[in-house]
């Protein structure tokens, strides 16, 4: 949910909940060091286990472990995402990822994936780099003909400059630091001829430091997926999400807070994605996304808006290295007159 806009804390009395550490107090490199450590361990690839010739033994499970560490460089335009005196800069980055996959003859799968990246800018001293780390653990098991049930636990840490103007009156672009934890049960039904129906429900907290307010999100997503040549994929999805803020209060039509209330958002979304691999070795890949989001608050409608979003990405991977490029375009349509 990376594109979800965080929200500023109102200046009112807080509930007695454990305070999140400020950006300077969170050791973000600790997560990256753990990923690098796992990456070093994963450089030794485990050999598949072989089943004994006897037929009365338990099903054999196979572990597959892999890891990589990579360094890169590039140029980022308008690092601070501002329309006044934008600052651009070259950057260098270091990233690492590690995956652990366990496959069973019963068809069950256990997947663990960890990723971290640190990016440093050479010409923007006001930003002490951008970084993120994520981890995902997923278990899936076949259930009958053409059905699969699974559950996924994911977490994300980010320290990045983001545009929060869609849901903020006094803030536009700022360095956002936060942690997301999400639990997602899933059901996948195979229709045949490369078509699948995917259904999932999700829930978990989004915790932010600084001037941003934390919230809980719950929701459901339904997707129709078509796979075709070279493992390309075309999908259409519908998602419904509900955000319940811990401390934020509702506002009236003029934007003033209403004491004793709790803010909540209802966020239905329609989206389509086309990921096409242009050759059998998947050296050239393009990804196109188009989506429409409705944001509806539970108060006066002051925070209601629609947003049309489009993104395009391209990746070239001739061997052990790759080049990626992409761009995003979004048009928020505000219902209330908030000067956006």
pLDDT digits (tens, 9 = 90+) for 42-74: 333 333 434 444 455 555 568 899 999 999 888
pLDDT digits (tens, 9 = 90+) for 255-285: 899 999 999 999 999 999 999 999 999 999 9
pLDDT at 88: 86
Report whether pLDDT(206) > 80. yes
pLDDT digits (tens, 9 = 90+) for 136-160: 999 999 998 899 999 999 999 998 8
Give the confidence band of 31 by pLDDT, cuts at 50, 70, 90. very low
Could you tell me which residue, 246 or 290, shows the higher pLDDT? 290
The answer to whether 235 touches 224, Cβ cutoff 8 Å, is yes
- Pairing verdict, β 305-316 and 232-245: unpaired
pLDDT at 56: 56
Give the confidence band of 328 by pLDDT, cuts at 50, 70, 90. confident
Lowest mean pLDDT among 72-76, 102-106, 161-165, 178-182: 161-165
Q: In this structure, what token pair is assigned to residue 254?
A: 């003029």
Beta bridge partners of 228: 232
pLDDT digits (tens, 9 = 90+) for 208-218: 887 788 999 99
What global pTM score does this model have? 0.71
Nearest to 328 by CA among 81, 61, 88: 81
Task: Give the burial string for 191-227 (b: 16+ CB within 10 Å, else e).
Answer: eeeeebebebebbbebbbbbbbbbbebebebebebee
Kindly state the average pLDDT of the residues 76-99. Answer: 84
Residue 229, φ and ψ in degrees, nearest 5: -50, 140
Count of other CB atoms within 10 angstroms of residue 230: 14
Q: For residue 242, count CB atoms less than 10 angstroms from its CB and return exposed for 0-12, middle for 13-18, buried for 19 or more.
A: middle
């Amino acid at each position: 949910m990376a594109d979800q806009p965080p929200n500023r804390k109102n200046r009112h009395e807080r509930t007695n909940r454990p305070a999140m550490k400020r950006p300077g107090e969170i050791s973000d490199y600790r997560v990256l060091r753990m990923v690098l450590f796992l990456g070093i361990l994963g450089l030794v690839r485990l050999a598949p286990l072989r089943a004994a010739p006897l037929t009365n033994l338990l099903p054999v499970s196979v572990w597959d472990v892999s890891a990589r560490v990579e360094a890169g460089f590039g140029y980022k335009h308008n690092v601070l995402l501002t329309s006044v005196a934008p600052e651009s800069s070259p950057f260098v980055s270091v990233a690492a990822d590690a995956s652990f996959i366990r496959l069973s003859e019963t068809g069950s799968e256990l997947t663990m994936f960890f990723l971290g990246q640190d990016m440093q800018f050479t010409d923007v001293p006001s930003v002490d780099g951008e970084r993120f780390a994520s981890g995902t653990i997923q278990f899936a098991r076949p259930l009958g003909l053409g059905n699969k049930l699974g559950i996924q636990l994911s977490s994300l840490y980010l320290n990045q400059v983001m545009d929060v103007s869609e849901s903020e009156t006094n803030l536009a672009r700022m360095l956002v630091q936060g942690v997301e934890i999400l639990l997602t049960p899933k059901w996948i039904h195979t229709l045949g001829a490369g078509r699948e129906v995917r259904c999932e429900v999700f829930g978990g907290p989004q915790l932010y430091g600084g001037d941003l307010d934390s919230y809980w999100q719950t929701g459901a997503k339904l997707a129709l997926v078509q796979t075709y040549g070279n493992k390309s994929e075309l999908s259409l999805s519908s998602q419904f999400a509900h955000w319940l803020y811990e401390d934020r209060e509702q506002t009236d039509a003029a934007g003033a807070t209403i004491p004793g209330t709790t803010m909540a958002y209802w966020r239905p979304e329609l989206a389509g994605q086309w990921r096409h691999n242009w050759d059998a070795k998947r050296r050239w890949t393009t990804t196109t996304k188009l989506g429409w989001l409705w944001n509806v608050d539970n108060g006066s409608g002051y925070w209601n808006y629609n947003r049309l979003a489009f993104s395009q990405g391209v990746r070239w991977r001739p061997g052990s290295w790759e080049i990626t490029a992409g761009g995003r375009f979004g048009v928020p349509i505000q219902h209330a007159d908030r000067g956006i």
